[in-house]
Amino acid sequence: MIKPILAAMLTSLPVIASAQDAILKVGTQVDIRSTNPGVDRSAYTDGVLMNVVEGLVGYRDDLSVGPVLAEEIQLSEDGLTYTFPLRRGVTFHNGAEMTAETVLWSWNRLMAEDTGWRCRDRFDGTDGIEVTSVTAPDPYTVVYQIDAPSPLFLKELARFDCGSAPVLHPDSLKADGSWNGPVGTGPFVLEQWRPGERIRLKKFDGYVSASGEMDGYTGEKTVNVDRVDIIVVPDPASAKAALRAGDIDLFNINVSDIAEFREAGFTVLTEPTPSWSLFLISRHDETLANPALRQALARSLDLDQIAMLMGEEAANASPIPPISSFYTEVQSQRYGYDPEAARALVEESGYDGSPITLTTTKQSERLYNQSLIAQSMWRKVGLNVEIEVMDWGSQLDLYQSGKYQMQSFGFSPRLDPALSWDMFSGEHPRKVWNDPKALKLIEALKSETDTEARAALSDQLHLMFLEAVPAIGLFSQLDVMATSDRVQDFRMWPGGQPRFWNVGLDAGE
């Protein structure tokens, strides 16, 4: 039976669809943070909005990059000029045609400092690539010039957390230049967002799909439902009850719930992803600045036991996922689980038993449960770790500021070793590793084009990471989705983000 609060929420939502409308109902424990892609974001925000907006390029199933709004990708022999002929006939949600002019407008908006685009520093020379010019030689061609050849340029453009450098219509802004809402080219229109309750996506009848097989964010996107209602259900038990009752059709479940839902007759889909679970250790905290204490925190954790209890496939201390070609024998090395050594390190550090706060949220069973398991292991070696629970939005605010001691955390996919190491390394307050030698190696990794040399740089970083312990890696996440029997053709992929196109509903429902 659905808990009363959830039942009331579901029944209170206005019913404006006809009986014939095909409505896909998706449950989520966390809401989106905003409707502004790549600006005020979280991993789930990225995933929802990528059904609404598109960029010139996107990731494929094999995590390579292919064209989306671009017809093709042309690279000059010197590696400095990227030419993107645009697909013709593509329209925005307001009916206006997408042309090179709107691509340029979108790019200039993203690169304006007051926009607050998360990835601006990835293209202005501050943190790697410098885009020296973006031009439109004709209405359907856009040309990017960069300062030096880079193996990362297309991958940076396609990044989920960058919103895939979304191409938007100027109507996305109010008359005063402030954000209004995404007017994109994607297969769905963002019709409504009620914070804390629901996100409603409506089929874009004017959508013009690319050709080819569905392949990550590239290829064919056919919309087979009239609407997607994403219902925010923070309590996991209520969400599971709603799925069993047929009030939602799709829901991300824990690995530990797989058997239960399969036995109940649900389809359960799984996919290994590059998403990474870990504990972040703030570099702004005096107590945790002690190297011996950091080593004690790491060496007191049995990663195999944690992965087993969490139901994950295998432990992984590295930000490089096992599905990556850069996951070498070196990357498989860990901290060296040894409770006795951990106790000696606690004593060596001079730790006085004062509480160490680990921040987590119950809105993610994964983050909360891994906290409980680790807390038990830490206490066995004399580490007084206390768990602080808050809502996910508040935890993200602390993450951005660096004002915490430890966090139970998860990173969404970063699909290149340079991006994997960079996601927690640097000067920004949210970054936990600011070692100059490590940052120099990451910069070299960003510009190196030889695969073997890049692997060697990544391996060197991993050995330094194990020694410094800016964070404690746990495992690369298994994505698990339970679906009702009326859902047809929902497909998982290594990118881990939900794709609502090409999904159908049983006509009998």
3-state secondary structure 68-130: CCECCCEECCCCCEEEEEECCCCECCCCCECCHHHHHHHHHHHHCHHHCCCCHHHCECCCCCE
Rounded to the nearest 5°, which phi and psi values hold at 342? -65, -40
494-509: burial string, b at 16+ Cβ within 10 Å, e else: bbbbbbbbbbbbeeee
Portion of the chain with pLDDT greater than 70, in percent: 96
Q: What is the pLDDT of residue 249?
A: 95
For residue 2, tell me if it sits in a domain: no
Q: What is the pLDDT of residue 236?
A: 75
Rounded to the nearest integer, the mean pLDDT of the chain is 93
For residue 6, tell me if it sits in a domain: no
**In which band, very low, low, confident or very high, does the pLDDT at 508 lie, cut at 50, 70 and 90?**
low
Task: Assess whether pLDDT exceeds 90 at residue 240.
Answer: no
pLDDT digits (tens, 9 = 90+) for 418-457: 999 999 999 999 999 999 999 999 999 998 889 999 999 9
- Say if residue 471 is in the same domain as residue 489: no
Task: Assess whether pLDDT exceeds 80 at residue 10.
Answer: no
Q: Tokens in use for 229?
A: 């209602």
For the segment 85-89, the average pLDDT, to the nearest whole number, is: 98
Residue 448: count of CB within 10 angstroms of its CB: 18
Q: What is the pLDDT of residue 191?
A: 98
Domain that holds residue 304: 272-478
For the segment 366-392, the average pLDDT, to the nearest whole number, is: 96
- Say if residue 42 is in the same domain as residue 155: yes
Look at the chain and report how many structural domains it folds into.
2
Contact status, residue 70 vs residue 56, Cβ threshold 8 Å: yes
The CATH number assigned to the domain holding 316 equals 3.10.105.10
For the segment 253-266, the average pLDDT, to the nearest whole number, is: 86
Q: What is the pLDDT of residue 237?
A: 82
- Say if residue 439 is in the same domain as residue 307: yes
Task: Assess whether pLDDT exceeds 50 at residue 6.
Answer: no
Distance between start and end Cα atoms, the chain: 21
Q: Tokens in use for 396?
A: 């993200």
Distance of CA 401 to the CA centre of its chain: 19
- Say if residue 212 is in the same domain as residue 325: no
How distant, in Å, are the alpha carbons of 196, 289, 290, 291 from that of 469? 36, 10, 10, 8
**In which band, very low, low, confident or very high, does the pLDDT at 5 lie, cut at 50, 70 and 90?**
very low
For the segment 126-130, the average pLDDT, to the nearest whole number, is: 88
Task: Assess whether pLDDT exceeds 60 at residue 225.
Answer: yes
- Say if residue 474 is in the same domain as residue 492: no
Global pTM value: 0.83
For residue 426, tell me if it sits in a domain: yes
Identify residue 87 by its one-letter amino acid code: R
pLDDT digits (tens, 9 = 90+) for 160-213: 999 999 999 999 999 999 999 999 999 999 999 999 999 999 999 999 999 999
Please name the helix (run of DSSP H) or strand (run of DSSP E) that holds residue 365, with its range, or none.
helix 365-380
- Say if residue 216 is in the same domain as residue 175: yes
For the segment 341-356, the average pLDDT, to the nearest whole number, is: 97
Q: What is the pLDDT of residue 12?
A: 43
**In which band, very low, low, confident or very high, does the pLDDT at 14 lie, cut at 50, 70 and 90?**
very low
Contact status, residue 328 vs residue 455, Cβ threshold 8 Å: yes
The Cα 229–Cα 226 span in angstroms is 10
The residue written with tokens 């799709």 in the block is 250
The Cα 455–Cα 320 span in angstroms is 11
- Cα atoms found within 13 Å of the Cα of residue 361, Cβ hemisphere only: 19
**In which band, very low, low, confident or very high, does the pLDDT at 263 lie, cut at 50, 70 and 90?**
confident
**In which band, very low, low, confident or very high, does the pLDDT at 412 lie, cut at 50, 70 and 90?**
confident
- Say if residue 402 is in the same domain as residue 488: no
How distant, in Å, are the alpha carbons of 50, 59, 104, 123, 457 from that of 418? 23, 16, 27, 15, 9
- Say if residue 294 is in the same domain as residue 220: no
Task: Assess whether pLDDT exceeds 90 at residue 82.
Answer: yes
The Cα 55–Cα 68 span in angstroms is 6
The CATH number assigned to the domain holding 167 equals 3.40.190.10
Task: Assess whether pLDDT exceeds 80 at residue 2.
Answer: no
For residue 255, tell me if it sits in a domain: no
Distance of CA 133 to the CA centre of its chain: 29
By mean pLDDT, which of 57-61, 73-77, 207-211, 360-364 is the weakest? 360-364
By mean pLDDT, which of 19-28, 374-383, 464-473, 495-504 is the weakest? 19-28
Q: What is the pLDDT of residue 509?
A: 44
Q: What is the pLDDT of residue 507?
A: 67
Q: Could you give the strand order of the β-sheet that contains 141-146, starting from the edge strand earlier in sequence? A: 74-75, 81-85, 141-146, 131-138
